[in-house]
Structure 1
Amino acid sequence: MSPRISGLHACRAWFDARPQASDAVLALALLLVGLPQLYLEDLPRGLDELYAGTDARHLALVVGVTMTLSFRRTRPLLTLCAIVAGQTLITVWNYPPTVPDFAAYLIATYGVAAHRGLAISALGGLVSLVALNGFLLTFPTDLGLMSFMTDNALVIGVWVLGRNLRLRRAYFAELEDRAARLERARGTDARAARVEERSRIARELHDVVAHHVSVMTVQAGAARRILDRHPAGAREAMTTIEEVGRTALSEMRRIVGVLRTERDPETAGGELAPQPGLGDLGELLDHVRDTGLSVQLWVEGEARTPSPGVDVAAFRLIQEALTNTLKHAGPQARAWVRLRYTAEDLTVEIEDDGRGTATIMADNGDRPGHGLVGMYERVALYGGELRIGPRVGGGFGVRARFPLEA
């Protein structure tokens, strides 16, 4: 931006902050344009005999009337009344009308319409029309009907212009206020979305950490028991622990990666990898079987591709249920996973024949753990139904139904 443009912006800002000063400059400009009329121009022949000559009193009246415009925005109705009073004195003392006082009269009419509400602006318009017609009726010569109509139309037009500009300013002010409210609402929605996203990430991290740490704990215990008498088996268990640990780190890095504002280009591809779904169920069951838990899978009905959200939720539900089985069902437990597809929904069942809910309640003080709460949240998020509890004949069961159609 050039210094000249910058100076103009600064000057305009200064005058915008001081409306009375800018109105005083306007009044001075009117005087500079109109005062020469008093001394350099002669009245038309015939009128010079009807009006008194210009003197110091006339000059003082013209200057006073015009400079009253300095208050046209701060005291518009009072300014209009003062100008009408000054013009009345000019008329009574038989001085000729001039450009400055007539322009001040029109500007004051505009100001009261543009800067006050409808009631006050209507009162100002009425005062202006009454004063105008009074001046026209006392004019020393016959003006004719056309002059009356033209002058009245001019004053009404100026008043209407002021009202329209006031309404336009109010409209733009409302638009700006609405935009500010929308911006604040957008910021609130963004904060709510971040909170929801962090809650989702917390559930994902819980599922990932709980499952993989449970697998690693079981494998570490098995390796400790057979370390002396079966070193090869212990090494295999340690290898499984290493693989599960790497998988856990990879999944956590991918999940937490969404919180990062700047990604490393070399690792961005891994962080943007898709979330696991039912297509990864075989790998999950293999990890569980490596711990020694016998797991069987049944798929009933024609397999359909669920929505990405349901796909992840169903996978995490199975992962959490098998993690609880590893923790609480006991060393000799078996588990079954059943997927049942219909035209309307997907039913996921995970059952085991272990010790049931006794150890879960004991570990959590008779309150459901975060994993069970996370299950309910995931299923409810997609409009599904979830039942958790002991199964007939012993053990524990989890049954969830996900609608396949929104």
Structure 2
Amino acid sequence: MNIAPRERGPRRLPLAATEFLAWTGALAYPVLLCVTAMDEREPTGVRLLPFAALAVLTLPLVRRRPLPALLLILAGSFPAVVTSASAAARQPFMPGFEGPGWQLATLQALLSYAVVGRIAAGHGGTARTATAAVLALGTHVALVGHYRTGADNHLSSVMFLVLGLAATWTTAHLIHERREHAETVRAEAAAHAVTAERLRIARELHDMVAHSIGAIAIQAGVGRRVIAGHPDEAKAALAAIETTSRDTLAGLRHMLGALRHTDPQVPSLDPAPTLADLGRLVATARDAGVHVDIEFRGERRPLPADLEAAGFRIVQESITNVIRHAATPRCRVVVDYGDGALSLTVTDDGRGRGTPGHGYGITGMRERAALLRGRCTAGPRPGGGFEVAARLPVPVAAR
């Protein structure tokens, strides 16, 4: 037997090694930044490329430890900018030229503010974020006097730094709020899904157990009354009880087995009931002493699974209520395959079932219909008896 080799994902460095490399690069950043700033060649824009390239060394630590990374960036920014500005001031060929000090300072300010934004987006308006913002702004404001001359230039640089930090803070705060809102929405959706699943399970259990227990109760009562004088009828009642009980236990076993599966791709062990299974309901009701007349109208055709299951459960619950409460030997079911909707009507001539809407059965039928954008009504008939009427819209693609 050939066994295919198990696919292996890309190999990753151990956590300790990754942490070591991140710290090593970040610690080397201020040293290399100062060494690069000591170059006293003629200041040009090309000299800024090494400073920008060195920023890559801090990125791994920024992702893991943003606040220590910010401290290292600031620790390298101050001496590098001062050194660059001093080197430009000593150039004899361009007196009064400010050199690349202001460009380097701007580059370092943008890098520092990006780290502050990373902290603010992850922690919101906390003390850590405020500390990072104050440190970054204070460091770069203190550097302005080293690379700017004149009161106007000094003031404009300080305003640029303040506005840049404010824009960074605002953007990061919006990102943080959006992330929190998304988490809240996901949590609410998960809670709603859990509640919906619990209601679905409750409806399935109610429809399955209530129908079976009602039929078993009727058969047990028949057997008790006839066991002395008509043993054959008592035997038939016991056989019906046995069959119904086995079917119910099998259904419960399938349902519990499906619930134990954690893989959503695993299909349910118990297929969803369809309108084609109504004959089984008729047989069970007949064993319980209620004759069910079913009339199908329109062209019988397969419908979506959720529509078929809802229709079956509504008819099942209605017949169960007839068996348990109506005290009548007959009921009538009409299944109408209309062009735009599936209509279900269950009527009987019994004594009724009290105030409509009480109990879980009728509530469950209404919930099933509402989930499919339909409606279900249940109540006494004007001439006596009880009626359940449901209308379930059929999707356009299934018409």
How far, CA to CA, are the matches of 1:386 and 1:3 in structure 2? 58
Q: Which amino acid aligns with 2:112?
A: H
Give the equivalent residue in structure 2 for 1:91: 90
Give the equivalent residue in structure 1 for 2:335: 339
Are positions 1:405 and 2:395 aligned together? yes
- Displacement of 1:185 in angstroms is 4.8
- Residue 387 of structure 1 aligns to a residue whose secondary structure is strand
- Displacement of 1:189 in angstroms is 3.2
> Which whole-Å deviations, capped at 9, do the CAs of 1:97-131 have from their partners, x for residues lacking one?
9xxxx8987644421233248xx899999989867
What is the number of residues matched between the two proteins?
318
Give the equivalent residue in structure 2 for 1:275: 272
Q: Normalising by structure 2, report the TM-score.
A: 0.64
Are positions 1:385 and 2:378 aligned together? no
Larger Rg, first or second structure (1 or 2): 1
Are positions 1:350 and 2:356 aligned together? no
Give the equivalent residue in structure 1 for 2:107: 110
Are positions 1:10 and 2:6 aligned together? no
- Residue 73 of structure 1 aligns to a residue whose secondary structure is helix
How far, CA to CA, are the matches of 2:11 and 2:326 in structure 1? 78
Moved more, 303-312 or 175-184: 175-184
- Displacement of 1:231 in angstroms is 1.2
- Residue 349 of structure 1 aligns to a residue whose secondary structure is strand
Mapping for residues 3-402 of structure 1, pairs under 5 Å = 8-14=17-23, 21-27=27-33, 29-30=35-36, 73-74=73-74, 82-83=82-83, 86-87=86-87, 91=90, 107-116=104-113, 185-186=185-186, 188-261=188-261, 271-330=268-327, 332-358=328-354, 361=355, 368-402=358-392
Closer/same/farther in 2, CA of residues 197 and 209 from structure 1, 3 Å limit: same
Q: What runs of 5+ residues in structure 1 fail to find an aligned partner?
A: 38-69, 132-162
Closer/same/farther in 2, CA of residues 208 and 4 from structure 1, 3 Å limit: closer
How far, CA to CA, are the matches of 1:96 and 1:5 in structure 2? 52
Closer/same/farther in 2, CA of residues 288 and 15 from structure 1, 3 Å limit: same
Closer/same/farther in 2, CA of residues 25 and 311 from structure 1, 3 Å limit: same
- Residue 245 of structure 1 aligns to a residue whose secondary structure is helix
**Contact conserved, 2:326 with 2:351, CA < 8 A, in 1?**
yes
How far, CA to CA, are the matches of 2:14 and 2:291 in structure 1? 80
Q: Which amino acid aligns with 2:203?
A: R
- Displacement of 1:272 in angstroms is 1.9
Q: Which amino acid aligns with 1:257?
A: G
> Which whole-Å deviations, capped at 9, do the CAs of 1:256-300 have from their partners, x for residues lacking one?
33321369xxxx98x523111110001111100111112111112
Q: What runs of 5+ residues in structure 2 fail to find an aligned partner?
A: 1-9, 41-69, 115-136, 150-163
**Contact conserved, 1:112 with 1:124, CA < 8 A, in 2?**
no
Backbone CA RMSD of aligned residues: 4.7
How far, CA to CA, are the matches of 1:281 and 1:71 in structure 2? 74
Moved more, 241-250 or 366-375: 366-375
**Contact conserved, 1:72 with 1:108, CA < 8 A, in 2?**
no
**Contact conserved, 2:290 with 2:329, CA < 8 A, in 1?**
yes
How far, CA to CA, are the matches of 1:296 and 1:5 in structure 2? 72
Moved more, 230-239 or 170-179: 170-179
Task: Percent identity, please.
Answer: 31
**Contact conserved, 2:102 with 2:147, CA < 8 A, in 1?**
no
> Which whole-Å deviations, capped at 9, do the CAs of 1:56-83 have from their partners, x for residues lacking one?
xxxxxxxxxxxxxx97833798667744
